Structure 1
Amino acid sequence: MVKQAYSQHYAIAAFNVNNLEWAKAILLAAQEAQAPVILEVTAGAAHYMGSFRLAYDLIVDLHQALHITVPVAIHLDHGGYTDVLKTLGVGYTSVMFDGSSLKLTENIKLTDQIVKLAKPQAVTVEAEVGTIGGQEDGTIAQGELASLNEAIAMAKTGVDMLALGIGNIHGPYPDNWEGLNLAHLRTLATGIEDAIKEPLPLVLHGGSGIPDDQIKAAIQLGIAKINVNTEGQLAFHEAMRDYVLSGQDLVGKNYDPRRFLQPGLTAIKEMCLDRLRVFGSANRV
């Protein structure tokens, strides 16, 4: 999926799954758009839903029940070493080991071990170097920029995808955010390819809220997977808030959760359809 996206200059959307409504909305959107898609599960989401296995089974069962025919991958997002082992045992098709908080040598050592475990199982491995910031106090104007030397060292472990800081951050972007550093992205992509003698698809975390023109430019420079979570949460929240404040929840049996949650599900689906179009992955099946 990601290799093809890289070579044809579009990006695969990687949407985080938070519950059944999220998984259903994402799958329906991908089918409607005829787009390959990645459904991501974090340790926090797995804990909320019950376990990594439950999240996996939920996605697989929905995939079958909804008669989804587009390519779908189930991905561990921001997993620790133990999380990776758990998801490999369940059958996730892709894992991200996030050792960005560790010293570089330890991050590379563990990533190398994971590559050796995952490759025989045909499981794709994503890693991260440096730290992708998160906007928590409203003061961050620019996310971290990844070191080229560190990126090359990580690429040499044999990972399939690499998440790098190019000014992006997790969560909502503050008003004083300076935008993606596209020149640095070009340097990273070129430097990595020169060092390992082949192109390496790059991953953009914190994909929610970045202007579309910057996203499209980043895709042309090597971004082939874009993570989206906050955008879905905000769309769901806004739709549900409007539904309640307008009093629609008080009409008839709209208190029934199957009706009550429908506006939120629809909002997530519409958000996904929009991102699939912007990322260029619609009609790529």
Structure 2
Amino acid sequence: MALVNVKDMLDKALKGNYAVGHFDVHNLEWTQAVLSAAEELQSPVILGTTEEAIEYFGGFKVVKEMTIALIEEMGITVPVALHLDHGSSVENCILAIDAGFTSVMIDGSHFPFEENVRMTKEVVEYAHPRGITVEAEIGSIGGEEGNMVSNNPVYANLDECKKIVELCSIDCLAPSLGSAHGPYKGEPKLDFEKMNEISQAVKIPLVLHGASGLYPEQIKEAISLGTAKINVNADNHLAFTKAIRQILDNNQNAYNAVNYIGEGRKAVKAMIIEKINLFGSAGKATE
């Protein structure tokens, strides 16, 4: 099955009151885990890669070709999108598109609003004629994601959310509303009132970054308020690392990487299954 873009997935999710999981992948094993979990639950799925992960893999084309090969070898039948997460420049978004990615996020949130709009519009003008979906961010989501670190989160402004949708014709919007990348320090608090205002105003699918560590009731509330794409990364890091650490701590003679990395893969798959069920996308692949 060929890669698909994100727009159709999210439009269906928004109408069906569920969310599609975006799972960042950092190696072969994580990619296998995401695809296997999605196929098992018959869920559409988004494979996300940060620029840091792409550098680790060896390039945009490596990620795309590896994904296509795994889809074929594993007999994956569910819709799969390949997404550039937090693209830091127009140039990198174009590189991803030209390599075969089917969705990109241009993250101009760290720049003044006018520059964010300029960058986003340029990416949309390149992406849409090629059938590629575009995500943008308003505000600044705190925490650490790839090479991007923000210790001063900025909440999304309603007027700016409306303007970037009107001016750029983006396909989905990630407004900063209190979530954070990486493990939370303290209680996560999301501004659901503002989320509802933004959703009602922009009328396109919203994206929730930093979903790792949020409570299930917070996830469900976000979905009910127009969030159709939910990003998970830190929870998979934690699961992968915990599984491998247990093996190496319990067996000082362990040396075969296939054995302990394979256990890490199982832990990531289990986490993704849990998230897909929580997001409500299980069984939605054929809708």
Aligned partner of 2:97 in structure 1 is: 88
CA distance in 2, matches of 1:135, 1:28: 27
Equivalent residue in structure 1 for 2:249, among 232, 245, 249:
245
Q: 1:45 to 1:178 in 2, by over 3 A?
A: closer
Aligned partner of 1:195 in structure 2 is: none
Following TM superposition, by how much is the alpha carbon of 1:255 offset from its aligned partner in structure 2, in angstroms?
2.4
Aligned partner of 1:64 in structure 2 is: 72
- After superposition, what is the alpha-carbon deviation per residue over 1:13-52, rounded to whole angstroms, capped at 9, x for unaligned? 0000100001001000000111000001111001011001
Equivalent residue in structure 2 for 1:147, among 157, 171, 179:
157
2:89 maps to 1:78: no
Following TM superposition, by how much is the alpha carbon of 1:56 offset from its aligned partner in structure 2, in angstroms?
1.0
| Matched-pair contact (CA < 8 Å) for 2:90–2:122 | no
| Matched-pair contact (CA < 8 Å) for 2:179–2:188 | no
* Aligned-partner residue type, residue 275 of structure 1: K
Aligned partner of 1:42 in structure 2 is: 50
Following TM superposition, by how much is the alpha carbon of 1:166 offset from its aligned partner in structure 2, in angstroms?
1.2
CA distance in 1, matches of 2:70, 2:98: 20
2:162 maps to 1:162: no
Aligned partner of 1:119 in structure 2 is: 128
| Matched-pair contact (CA < 8 Å) for 1:17–1:39 | yes
- After superposition, what is the alpha-carbon deviation per residue over 1:109-132, rounded to whole angstroms, capped at 9, x for unaligned? 111111111111110100111111
Aligned partner of 2:212 in structure 1 is: 208
| Matched-pair contact (CA < 8 Å) for 2:47–2:81 | yes
CA distance in 1, matches of 2:68, 2:257: 23
Percent of residue pairs bearing the same amino acid type: 40
Equivalent residue in structure 2 for 1:219, among 201, 223, 226:
223
| Matched-pair contact (CA < 8 Å) for 1:42–1:77 | yes
* Aligned-partner residue type, residue 99 of structure 1: G
* Gapped regions of structure 2 (runs ≥ 5): 1-8, 146-150
Aligned partner of 1:268 in structure 2 is: 268
Q: 1:231 to 1:178 in 2, by over 3 A?
A: closer
RMSD between superposed Cα atoms in Å: 1.5
* Aligned-partner residue type, residue 55 of structure 2: H
Structure 2-normalised TM-score? 0.91
Following TM superposition, by how much is the alpha carbon of 1:163 offset from its aligned partner in structure 2, in angstroms?
0.5
Structure 2 counterparts to residues 162-201 of structure 1, below 5 A: 162-175=173-186, 177-192=187-202, 199-201=203-205
Following TM superposition, by how much is the alpha carbon of 1:260 offset from its aligned partner in structure 2, in angstroms?
2.3
- After superposition, what is the alpha-carbon deviation per residue over 1:166-192, rounded to whole angstroms, capped at 9, x for unaligned? 1111111112x3511111111111122
2:27 maps to 1:16: no
Following TM superposition, by how much is the alpha carbon of 1:83 offset from its aligned partner in structure 2, in angstroms?
1.0
CA distance in 2, matches of 1:183, 1:162: 16
Equivalent residue in structure 2 for 1:107, among 100, 105, 116:
116
CA distance in 2, matches of 1:13, 1:149: 27
Q: 1:219 to 1:143 in 2, by over 3 A?
A: farther
| Matched-pair contact (CA < 8 Å) for 1:30–1:37 | yes
* Gapped regions of structure 1 (runs ≥ 5): 193-198
Q: 1:116 to 1:135 in 2, by over 3 A?
A: closer
* Aligned-partner residue type, residue 197 of structure 2: T
